[in-house]
Amino acid sequence: MKIVVLTLALIGAIGLTSCNNDTTYASEIVNLKAPTLKWMKSLNDPSITRFDLINNDTFIQHNLNIGEGKQEYIDYLEIKQQEGLKVELIRALQDSNYVFVQSLQETQYEEAQVVYNLFRYEGEFIVENWENREALQPINSSGRSQIDGPNTVVDLEQTEVNKAQVKRFLTTLFIDKDLNMIDTFFHNNQYLQHNPQIKDGVSSFKDVITQLHESGTEVGYETIHHIIGEGNYVLAISEGYLGKEQMAFFNLFRIESQKIAEHWDAIETIPFYKSWKNSNGKF
C-alpha cells in the first residue's frame, strides 16, 4: 500500500503549497504546525524526545484512556515508546491556535492505527488534546486506504468558506437528516472515499446511508464540536450515534471549488463514563 508521508521538508510551511494570497495569511499567525510535527516525529526516538511543548499547569486531556494532566500524558507516551512506538506523519492543518495531525502509529504490541490528534495551544504550549484512533484496515473497494491521497494545502483565502460548507453538509445530512440536499454539496457523482467500508461516488454514499436506515441502524450527529480548516482541508469533530452506540466522528474533507471532493475519517465508540481515566469528556 502506498502511504503518503508528510516529510520534514514540508514541516516548515504553514501551507504546503503557496498561492497568491498565502503570504499574507501566513504572516498573520504564528507557525505552530512546525513544532508540533517536529515533536511528534521525535517520539520515534526516546533519546531525543522532550515534552516541554506540553503545558504543565493547564493541560486538558480528552483521550479517555489517559489520566488527567501533563505527567499522565508523558507517562502514557513513554510506555508506548518502551513498546517500540513508531509514528508516521501523514497530514497536518493549522487553524489559529489549533493544530490537527493525522498519523499512522504502531508498537510491538499494537498493530498500526490511524490516529487523529487535535491540539489547542496557548502561546507556545499545547494545553489540550482531542484524539480518535482506528485500526488500519485493508484498502476499500475503490483501491483507497485510510491515509493515502493528496496532502497539499491550497486556497488559503477560502478557509472560512470551506469550513462553513462542511458545517452545512454535516448539519443537513446528519443532524437534520435531509438527504434530498446531498447532491448540492458535490460535483456530480465525484466523491473520493477513504473510509474502508465505502467506495467512491456520491451514489455509494447514499446507498450506505439508505442501507443503514433500512436495517434499523440509525446514524446521526447530535453536536458538531469543532470545525478546523486550512485552505482546502477541513476537519470536523462531532458527537453522534450509530445504532445504540454513542460515537465520536472525526471527519477530514478536501474541498474543490466549494464542493466536497474527498473524505477521510476515524470513528470511535465513546466508552461508558465509569471507565474514563479523566473527567474531561471526549469533546
Per-residue pLDDT of 133-170, as tens digits, reads: 999 999 999 999 999 999 999 999 999 999 999 999 99
Tell me the three state secondary structure of residue 231.
coil
Pick the CATH number of 156-273 from 3.10.450.50, 3.40.50.300, 3.60.20.10, 3.10.150.10: 3.10.450.50
Does residue 19 register a pLDDT over 60? no
- 224 touches 170 (CB < 8 A): yes
- Looking at residue 28, its pLDDT comes to 59
Topology alike, domains 8-135 and 156-273: yes
- 96 touches 14 (CB < 8 A): no
Q: What is the CATH number of domain 8-135?
A: 3.10.450.50
- 124 touches 259 (CB < 8 A): no
Element (H, E) at 248: strand 245-256
Per domain, the residue ranges of the chain are 8-135, 156-273
- Looking at residue 230, its pLDDT comes to 98
Residue 234 phi, psi dihedral angles, 5° rounding: -135, 130
Average pLDDT over residues 217-238: 97
- Looking at residue 213, its pLDDT comes to 86
Q: What residues contact residue 101 under an 8 Å CB cut-off, 6+ apart?
A: 36, 37, 40, 89, 91, 92, 116, 117, 119
pTM for the full predicted model: 0.90
- 16 touches 232 (CB < 8 A): no
